[in-house]
Every structure is written in C-alpha cells, then in structure tokens.
Structure 1
C-alpha cells in the first residue's frame, strides 16, 4: 500500500487504478486469440518504486524475462496511481497501449474495463500455465469478472501475485509494563481492552475520519459472520440482512467499546495518519490496521512490538494486491503472459516476501527477518483457511464515504447502532441497484 488510506477507499471509488497502455492492435498469445504480430518489444506499466517490495520483485522478474528473451526489448514505464486512475479508459481505447500493466481490482475498476472489452480474457493461459493452482479460493476472486463486470465469477481478466490484509499491531512494551496479557482469543482481547482502560489508557488507536474505524467494524462483522455473509455482502449472491445477527452484534459491540472508552472520544475527527502516529509514538497499546503499515512501523518504532491476526476470527479484511492485466489492444500478448508467469515463480515471489511484501506463492522459510516472517506467515495462514474477506467499502461505489459518516455518528453517539445500520443499508441497496441495472 502506497498510502494508508488508498487501498481501503480504492474499490469504493467509482474508477480506480486505470490500466496502462499497450502497443497497437494485434492478436494475443495464450489468451485464445492467436499469436503476437511478431513484435520484439514488451512494454510494462506499473507504479511501484524500486525500493518497495513489489518494485524489487518486479525488477527481478524483468531480469529473468530479459535472460529468457534476449531478443526482446523491454520498456518499463513508471506511472503514478493517479495517472492510471484518471486515464485508464482513455488510454486503453486507443492503440498506443502497454502490453502488460498493473491495475486495481474491483467492480468499478478492472471489472468495468473488462465489461467494456478493454482487457484480454485470460482463461486459456490461466489454465495452460496452471495459475489457478497458485491462486485458489478467495485469492482468485479479484481476478475474475462476469459479463457485467462483477467480481468473483466469470472469466479471468487479471492476475494477482501479492496480497494485503488487516491485522492487530501490539505495543508489547506497554502490555508488559501494565501487566496485561497479550490476547490470543476474542475474550482475551476484550479483557485487555478493559485492563488498559482501567489504568487510564485508551487502548485502541483508530481513526473515524478515514478508513480505520470501518475496518475495525468489519473485523467485528467477520467475527460474528461467516463466508456466506461475505459472499452475499461482497458478491451479491443473496440479499444482506442488515439487521441480522452478525451486523447487529458487530455494530452493538463497537458501540459498547465506544461507550466504555476503548475508542477515544476524538476518534471521529482523526485520520489514518493520526492513528499511526499515536501507535508509533507509544501512546496506544493496540492498532487494528493493514499490512501496508508494516514498513513504516518497522523503520520508525523504537519499542518492542508485534502483530497477530484479529483474535478469534477465521475471516479477515484483505485481498490480493493489484492485478497484472493485458489490454485488449496489446501487441505482444504472449510476451505479456510470459512476464506474468515469471512474477508467480518462487524466486520472484521469495524476493517479494523477503522485502516485506506478501507473496501468494512464496516460501516463508526463506525469510530471515523475524518481523517480516511474522507478517508473511499471517497472510499464509489466512490463505490456508481461505480467509480473505475483502474490504467493507468494496461492494458499491460511494460506500466508503457513507461508511465513514455513519461510524462517525456512532463515535459521536448521535446515532444508535440500528440507525447506523439503516443508513448503511440504504446506501448499499441503492448502489447495488445502480450496479446491477435494476
């Protein structure tokens, strides 16, 4: 995650990460549309810095590609997230496009472009290269879209090769200093929250003006819910019961935590940066947030800290990272597919893991740094139990802002849990109708 707010808001915005450009019309390779038009150039667009885990891994993949394709010229163009978001559709409707590009997942992004015929169907190459064996279950969801551009079923239009998830960061020094046991169950988590509050410490660093509080709420929804609820909520498999057990218990529990002072009274006006600074400075013992904070925490924190999955949960907010997609007008589709295949190889995936990324097909035993290994093992544990549940604002466009606003009202105690759920239900169902054309 390049910014702490972006990933969570990304899928809710109407058009996120715009695809990159390819080179002139031409048939694609293993995607079932014939061979490339005999090009000797591969153009790659992505927006990772060389210092990032993804940037280091992609550079490794490029080096391997060059070795295996010595007669091909590789052109790498670094775009910004904002450039791609703003110009994707315009770029991809033209003929001067990249052969492979990094793009964001979701109904309003990759799904929208796929439904408009701007991305190459990758079904055949996924089967031929056995990518589906490396990307099972919930990990595959973000790469597949139906004819309406809805995520989770239909054909493959994107290939993820790293991931992200929300977990719990702990200030172990504060736990030790105040004699509080590090929680491993949900009951122990609540006991820890109460113990810190009894000592005059607000236990949870969070922020209501941006994504963090919504992710905390969603962790609670997932604690009381199950995979069926996730599929109904995220993939529209069935109607969501907004006043059913899971939604009600989660919202009531968050309201209870607010009333007990586990969440600061000023949280409604705080942003993600405020949350992070509070935890990094040692003021808060617990922060529930995403793996995108890891690099900064590792470099800035001076106390003993750790990380774990949300206690007691089998499902967790998170997803694959961005996708590699092949524009429909790409001129070197077979080469693009070869490059994607290389990014899924163990030697590239292990570079990703060793640098603090979250590989989907890596070997955690190759990671030597203890904290990096801890982070990566957490993601591996989630994948093993098919526990990715995506993000709470993903289902419909504009839901991010509604979720932020409604939960701010809960922090301010200006709305009851039932009123908050009514507000969320109204926006969700309206957005769903718009998306499905009902």
Structure 2
C-alpha cells in the first residue's frame, strides 16, 4: 500500500467516523426532545396541514425541547381513547368530544387536575369564566374547551332572494316556508348522519331550546323538573312532526353532513339546521354555485324569546393522569389558547377553533375571513356575555343519557317508539347518572 492509499484510507476512516458521530449526534438530540402525544379526530389533509403549520411548528419553534406527535384517529377516536385511558396507555393530551365525556374520566382518576397550570398560564384571566366552569369536576379544573359553538339556521340566501323568501323568525314562519319549499321540489332541511350518527342530537337540541325554551332545559339539567315534563313532550312532538312531514328528506341516513351542505349551496335544499362548525364549508361550496350563504338564530315557538343560541363545546383538552410529559402537554394547550394561534386557525379554518378567549382585541384575523362568520361569532359572544343562551345536549348531558338520546330519537322518527317512552327512558337514565355525579357542571343562569 503506497502513501496515497494510506492517506485515502485514513480519510475514509475519518470521514466514516465523522458521519457516524453526526448521525449519533442527531439521534441523541432527537432522543433528548420531550415527546408530546396528541390524538385528534377526523381532519382532511388540508386541515392536518393547518394543525402542523399553524400550531405544531410555531410551538416547537418557540419550545425546541419538545417534539409533538399528532395521531389522527377519525371517528373511532372516542372508542379508542376510552380503551386506552382504562389501561393508562393513552396520549398525553386527551381530546374529547365535549364536557360530558370529561366528568367520567375525571371521576375515574384518568385526568390530571389543571388548577396549577391555570394559575401558571393565567387561564383564569384569559378565558371566559363560564367555559372554565364547564371543565370543572368536584371543584377542580380538568378540561379546557377547544371551541365554543352554537346551533342555528344556515340558508341559501341567493335562493331566498330569487323566490322572495325571508329568513324565518318564528316556528310558524319556518313551517310555512318549509311547505313552500316542498311544493317547489326543494328539500326544506339539508341534513344527514351517515358520517356522524350523533348528528341526531343537533336537532333534539334545537327543538328543546326553540320549543321548550332554555329555562325549562336548565330546570331539567339541575334536577328541578323531569325530562318527561310537558314542555319537552311538545318539543319532541314538534321535531317528530317535521320528520314525518318530510322536512329532512328521504336520504338522511345515507348523506353525510358535508353532502347535505353541498345540497343547500346548490339550491336543491333551502335551509340547514346545524352548528357553526359548518362555516368551514361556506367558501368551498357556495362560490362554485354562484350563491351566497346566510345564517340566523333558529326560530322559536310562541312564548319563547328568540333567537336562542344553544351553547355548545365541541371538544375539550385535558392532560392524562398517566402522561409522561404533563408539563409539555399543558404548554402546548396553552399555546393553542394564544392570540397567535387563535388568529391563525380562525383565518384558515373557521368554525372549529373559536377558543373562548376573554379578550380578542389583540387577535389578528385575515381579511379573507367571511363577514358572516365574524358576525355570527360576535353575536354568540354577546349572547353568552348577556346570559342569553341555551344548552346543547352533547355539552350538558352526561354520557349514557346523551348516548341514549342519539339512538332513541331515531326510534321515534321510525315509529318504533313514542315521545312518552323516549322521554321516560331519557329521564330514568339521566336521574341515574345524576345520582352518580356524572352530570357536567351547569353554569347558573
């Protein structure tokens, strides 16, 4: 071997050592990072990109000691989360479908009390008090709401103007308009539960608040009157009347809510009783149909001051008691509730990230966000602040009661059960869970 070969061999060895050391250093640095695991529900590739680019990347840039792993579990999230929490193998950040899911987990010791983090990050000052109360169980804070929402009536404003219709303000006006639509071969209510069976309770919540009224719903939630009381009989009878009259159409069980929204945007359906989360679809479907969307509070029955905006929490953030990185999980949750994250997510993805910040004066939202969305969120915030709100079932009912409501309402629609039987079972289930302490916190009116 000549000198050149020796030199070349030495360079190869040195280079190999350098590469090996570099690789080991990279692995060591990756291992040094503290991982935060977060299971999320359904999200399109575009929406996953928003979470990655507008939440995860900015957070890890500011906090390079952390590594965030978001796992999209789709519609199976709740089922998989329940199993994982029982075995202590769940994610660091526990993402639920609402406060009714929090109480059983808190009672079972599966969630970490967040009071110390609330003090550290000043959540008590930065978030609307009513929503902090919803996340409490047995006097301790266990959850923060990701978004607050309401139910109302979307409608095809262009179709309405073409036919000389105006948005209804009373149930009588709503029903008269629905009959006109049927006569014109237009589906009155765009609706479907093919992708989310609990969509059934959106309509139950609407009926309970618009017909029975929020004061009666509050009395039932706090145990002052049973769910079998006459106001609720009238509410479920009214909802069933709409079903039997064909307002929901023949394809309810085979349509997804997105397909239903597209029907409204195209003018094949006139109205859609649903939640503010549907704002995320306005820009996708209305422009391509050269149409404009409208949104109003849902009409109310005689004697009920309206419109009533049922208050809902679409999902919550908690930290698992078994988390190996609770400080990191709490820090990520805190970032999500920042002015920066609120502005970015509400610019890109309306209807799903309306975090209950108490002061939005420093939030910057893009000019491309539809004025209709901003107006609806402003109206909702004013209603909450003025104590003029109703109650959504998925937010305020305990889990078994809520689960029965979803399936039981279908039985009434399909003629397999009666209003009286449905409400009797609903009340029995609720009273049992109330005795077990599973009813979520109910803010005083």
TM-score range, shorter chain: 0.7 to 0.9
Aligned to 2:218: 231
Shift of 1:233: 4.0
Shift of 1:156: 1.1
In the alignment, the residues of structure 1 paired with residue 243 and residue 67 of structure 2 have an alpha-carbon distance, to the nearest angstrom, of 54
Which deviates further from its counterpart, 341-350 or 188-197?
188-197
Which 5+ residue runs of structure 1 have no aligned equivalent? 1-38, 147-153
Aligned to 1:117: 109
* Aligned residue among 303, 317, 321 for 1:328: 321
In the alignment, the residues of structure 2 paired with residue 375 and residue 238 of structure 1 have an alpha-carbon distance, to the nearest angstrom, of 36
Aligned to 1:172: 157
Which deviates further from its counterpart, 277-286 or 174-183?
277-286
Closer, same or farther: CA 176–414 of 1 in aligned 2, 3 Å: farther
| Preserved contact between residue 154 and residue 296 of structure 2 (Cα < 8 Å) | yes
Q: TM-score, normalised by structure 1?
A: 0.73
How big is the alpha-carbon RMSD for the aligned residues of Structure 1 and Structure 2? Answer: 3.7
Closer, same or farther: CA 402–207 of 1 in aligned 2, 3 Å: farther
Aligned to 2:56: 62
In the alignment, the residues of structure 2 paired with residue 95 and residue 405 of structure 1 have an alpha-carbon distance, to the nearest angstrom, of 30
In the alignment, the residues of structure 2 paired with residue 231 and residue 104 of structure 1 have an alpha-carbon distance, to the nearest angstrom, of 21
In the alignment, the residues of structure 1 paired with residue 391 and residue 325 of structure 2 have an alpha-carbon distance, to the nearest angstrom, of 34
Closer, same or farther: CA 229–278 of 1 in aligned 2, 3 Å: same
Closer, same or farther: CA 248–124 of 1 in aligned 2, 3 Å: same
Give 3-state SS (helix, strand or coil) of 1:307's partner: strand
| Preserved contact between residue 155 and residue 293 of structure 2 (Cα < 8 Å) | yes
Closer, same or farther: CA 86–251 of 1 in aligned 2, 3 Å: closer
In the alignment, the residues of structure 2 paired with residue 379 and residue 429 of structure 1 have an alpha-carbon distance, to the nearest angstrom, of 36
Aligned to 1:266: 250
Which deviates further from its counterpart, 51-60 or 339-348?
51-60
| Preserved contact between residue 226 and residue 427 of structure 2 (Cα < 8 Å) | no
Asked if 1:104 is matched to 2:97, the reply is yes
Residue by residue over 1:28-80, the C-alpha shift from the partner in whole angstroms, topping out at 9 and shown as x without a partner, is: xxxxxxxxxxx85141313264855586256434334334334x131324241
| Preserved contact between residue 213 and residue 407 of structure 1 (Cα < 8 Å) | yes
Give matches, 1:141-160, under 5 Å: 141-146=133-138, 154-160=139-145
Asked if 1:428 is matched to 2:427, the reply is yes
* Aligned residue among 37, 53, 60 for 1:44: 37
Aligned to 2:392: 390
In the alignment, the residues of structure 1 paired with residue 105 and residue 157 of structure 2 have an alpha-carbon distance, to the nearest angstrom, of 45
Aligned to 2:167: 182
Aligned to 2:3: none
Q: TM-score, normalised by structure 2?
A: 0.72
* Aligned residue among 352, 372, 375 for 2:373: 375
Larger Rg: 2
Shift of 1:420: 0.7
